Amino acid sequence: MYHLLMGIIECAAAGGSGIDGDVSIMAASISGYTFSSVCFHSANSNSDHEGFLLGEVRQEETVSISDTQISTAELLQVVEIHNHDPCAQLFSFYDYAGKVNEDNLNRILKDRRKSVIGWYRFRRNTQQQMSFREQIIHKQLTQLLGVPDLVFLLFSFISTANSSTHALEYVLFRPNRRYNQRITLTIPNLGNTSQQEYKVSSVPNTSLNYAKVIKEHGAEFFDKDGVMKDIRTIFQVYSALQDKVQAVCGEVEQSERVKEKIQEDVNKLKQQIALRKRKTAEEERRLREAQNAESHPTSEENSEPSETSLLSRVAFHAPSAPERPGTSPNPPSYSDLLSQEDSLLSSSSSPTSAALLPRPQAVGSPGHPTPGPLGMGLGLSLGLGLGLGDSSEYENLVSEAAHLPMVSASVLAQGRPAALSPDGDARGSQTS
């Protein structure tokens, strides 16, 4: 039989202690507010969403002693995710080849760079595996940020066929370790703290000496009303904190209203730009028609572009190794893209920006709806472990469909409806 003596010694983050140990085990936690915030930003995104994880890493040492008296020390690396820094759009710090641009990275992170302990990605209807591009980016981030054990948190969103039930799956990877180790991510909350319950009864003690000592020293704990002094102090701390939170809430509310106003202005400007482009396209079309009529008065006016030229205008160009400029332009929203495509179909204008957009890539697509995705989507309907090959082929399929009200649920059904079966009930059956 072995005796196990557990001693936990907290060390500084880097370096470790004097006892040789192998930092092989990692534990990770993320605050509920940060987790919810990531879900919020992801839900607001019409494409994949990504960002950086901010927090701290510390090492805990556990010493175990067995009957043989050989002490073995194990270093436990504890990652605490305190906050996140969402990226406004995809490809903001890397290009299609996965090459990270350090200047853009610094521009995004600013002074938060030293707090980065990992990064995250949110995708819809994809497998819980890192894609090749993500692995490449991760290696570069590890070097650039100087965090040897940088972590990667992958969120995947799937829904049932009728969109009545949705699941957000999350896995924390430790890609710089062998076999791309996965770490359990806990969410600390009020239910899993070591707080003991209130005691409603006391152990009877009739000792006079005991009563005498307690009476003498009791005054140090209780005030004249018999209430514990600490309670009042701690309540004051709580009130101060609550007031601060209230004040911050007010500030956040103001900044959210400013953000809303700015977004409204941006949307109006986008509409005006789209309207102006449509008008310009219309005028050019009329001009061309007039010119055609003058040059070929007998031929029928070709108001509709030929199929080939139409396809060449509508089809996206796909350079072999596309490189976006350092500052990536904002990808068009789904509604803008539809309106642009409509204008293309009815005009014979020169290629608009829609036609010049790169073909939606598997990873990091800015969220265009890919024509005819259902065929590929069907292949995705089968859940994990199907050997579908590179998951990147299926990433970001119909990603925005999930967030358009009244969208047909059949598109979402191409996710993993079979896998979204009732989870194992910890209590057993559903009967109460």
Partner 1 sequence: DWLCSQTLLHAGAEREMKQLIMQRSAVHLESDAFLVCMNHALSTEKEEVMGLCIGEVEINRIVHIHSVIILRRSDKRKDRVEISPEQLSAASTEAERLADMTGKPMRVVGWYHSHPHITVWPSHVDVRTQAMYQMLDQGFVGLIFSCFIEDKNTKTGRVLYTCFQSVQAQKGSEYERVEIPVHVVPRDAIGKVCLESAVELPRILCQEEQDTYRKIHNLSHLDPITKIHNGSNRPNRPIRVLG
Segment 15 to 74, residues that bind partner 1, using CB under 8 A: 32-33, 35-37, 39-40, 43-46
**Could you give the CA distance from residue 108 to residue 88 in angstroms, rounded to a whole number?**
9
| 422 touches partner 1 by CB under 8 A | yes
Stretch that binds partner 1, among 55-63, 252-260, 316-324, 387-395 (CB under 8 A): 252-260
- Residue of 19, 106, 146, 221 that binds partner 1 (CB under 8 A): 221
- Residue of 238, 273, 275, 318 that binds partner 1 (CB under 8 A): 238
Beta strands (DSSP E) in 230-372 are none
Q: In this structure, are residues 154 and 170 in contact, taking their beta carbons and an 8 Å threshold? A: yes
| 321 touches partner 1 by CB under 8 A | no
The token pair that represents 327 in the structure block:
């500052």
| 183 touches partner 1 by CB under 8 A | yes
Contacts of 72 (CB under 8 A, 6+ apart): 63, 64, 66
Q: Considering only residues 126-155, where is the footprint of partner 1 by CB under 8 A?
A: 128
| 265 touches partner 1 by CB under 8 A | no
| 260 touches partner 1 by CB under 8 A | yes
Nearest distance, CB of residue 120 and partner 1, angstroms: 13
Q: In this structure, are residues 117 and 151 in contact, taking their beta carbons and an 8 Å threshold? A: yes
Count of residues binding partner 1 (CB under 8 A)?
Answer: 85
Stretch that binds partner 1, among 14-22, 94-102, 144-152, 192-200 (CB under 8 A): 192-200
Long-range contacts of 66-74 (CB under 8 A, 24+ apart): 66/2, 66/3, 66/4, 67/1, 67/2, 67/3, 71/19, 73/17, 73/19, 73/20, 73/21, 74/21, 74/22, 74/24, 74/25
| 112 touches partner 1 by CB under 8 A | no
Closest to partner 1 by CB, 168 vs 376, is 168
Contacts of 323 (CB under 8 A, 6+ apart): 95, 96, 97
**Could you give the CA distance from residue 331 to residue 323 in angstroms, rounded to a whole number?**
15
| 207 touches partner 1 by CB under 8 A | no
| 330 touches partner 1 by CB under 8 A | no
The token pair that represents 300 in the structure block:
């029928």
- Residue of 9, 88, 234, 315 that binds partner 1 (CB under 8 A): 234
Stretch that binds partner 1, among 62-70, 271-279, 302-310, 397-405 (CB under 8 A): 397-405
- Residue of 10, 102, 264, 304 that binds partner 1 (CB under 8 A): 264
